[in-house]
Amino acid sequence: MKLKIGLLGAGRFGQFHLSGYVKNKNCEIVSVASRTEESAKRVASKFNIPNVYWGDSWKAMLEEQDLDAVSICSPNYLHGSMTIAALENDCNVLCEKPIAISLEELGKIERILNKKDLIYFSSFQKRYLEISPIIKKIIQNKVLGELHLTRYFFGHYGPYTSYSAMSKQKWFIDSKMAGGGVLIDLGVHCIDLLRYLVGEFTEIEGFSLESVCKGIIDEDICNVLFRFENNVLGNISVSWCSEPMEIIELFGSKGTLTIDLQSNKPFNYKPSRLKRNPILKQAVTDTYNTTSIAQHELINHFIDCIINKKQDAPNFNDGKRAVEFVLKAYNLKKN
């Protein structure tokens, strides 16, 4: 029997999720809910979804459809309340980032999960890029020696013109609805991937931000300095004001490695003798897929975990730690 899937939020990211579910033979999409009737019906027609809800009727969808799982791809300010409602209706959950925009919401979700035997995934698909386990293997095998510093830059043009679906409600650039600016948008991906690669972070030691492209209240470019539990230094820089770019730099006692996550030949290293290491030699020889397949791999694993009743990563704690990282940075700036 196939798992019954529902979608909350039929915008750009919701359709990314749907395209993944469509390709999975173990599930069927039975319902969709969106902010407007127009968008809900348009997406339902595109993906042949029989049950359509809009406005506040998303609550009825959770109560009526006997769903096995939901993907939550709504505006940020709804992630917490929709997750709570879904869990209370015994739905397994895959939630887009950020999984909540307040510590209070995180606490409520955690308390429910502790009482129920449900699968919860945070939608951090960058862990499922082909290159991610390769980078982790390089670090774990000390190809660069002892790691001292990591830098992660992630930037693109931002939501001002490219996110047309978001521009109508303007929630994306309203901190009360989005939870913040570019850090809560892109920074959560950065800290999650670095936690996967390097380890847990401890304290944030510096935070700078600016609004340089548009006259918005929150940051569209920022920089965070922090430290990992293993004493490695971390630096995350994110921007809505740059050409599309995503680069990780690793600095170790034996050399440095630069990884362009948007390139199918992503590795650059110094000094040249590092290539003598068979792990790095193989890594720089291979060609990597940089398409949206990572989201589909995450969805496939989510479905597999539901079927086998086994929680795996990226789980609630991963989503929680990413939000905590962002909120700690914002609080540092306030103080």
Average pLDDT of the residues of the chain: 94
198 and 150 Cβ atoms separated by less than 8 Å: yes
DSSP-assigned letters across all residues of 85-99: HHHHTT-EEEEPSSS
227 and 203 Cβ atoms separated by less than 8 Å: yes
SS (H, E, C) 213-237: CCCCCCCCEEEEEEEECCCCEEEEE
To 5 degrees, how large is the angle CA 14–CA 191–CA 77?
40
SS (H, E, C) 20-88: HHHCCCCEEEEEEEECCHHHHHHHHHHHCCCEEEEHHHHHHHHHHCCCCEEEECCCHHHHHHHHHHHHH
Answer whether 3-118 and 126-295+323-334 agree in fold. Answer: no
pLDDT band at 334 (very low <50, low <70, confident <90, very high): confident
Q: What is the mean pLDDT of residues 258-271?
A: 96
Residue 197, classified by CB atoms within 10 Å of its CB into exposed (0-12), middle (13-18) or buried (19+), is buried
298 and 16 Cβ atoms separated by less than 8 Å: no
pLDDT at 292: 62
pLDDT band at 301 (very low <50, low <70, confident <90, very high): very high
Q: How many residues does the chain have?
A: 335
34-47 confidence digits (pLDDT tens): 999 999 999 999 99
Residue 135, classified by CB atoms within 10 Å of its CB into exposed (0-12), middle (13-18) or buried (19+), is buried
199-248 confidence digits (pLDDT tens): 999 999 999 988 887 666 789 999 999 999 999 999 999 999 899 999 99
Pick from 261-270, 292-301, 309-318: least confident: 292-301
101-146 confidence digits (pLDDT tens): 999 999 999 999 999 999 999 999 999 999 999 999 999 999 999 9
Q: Report the relative pairing of strands 233-239 and 245-252 from DSSP bridges.
A: unpaired
pLDDT at 1: 86
Class of domain 126-295+323-334: alpha beta
CATH code for the domain defined by 3-118: 3.40.50.720
Domain boundaries, the chain: 3-118, 126-295+323-334
What does the DSSP 8-state code read for residue 203? Answer: E
171-190 confidence digits (pLDDT tens): 777 778 899 999 999 999 99
Is this structure's pTM higher than 0.85?
Answer: yes
Closest alpha carbon to 93 in 36, 17, 34: 17
With 60 as the cut, is the pLDDT of residue 22 above it? yes
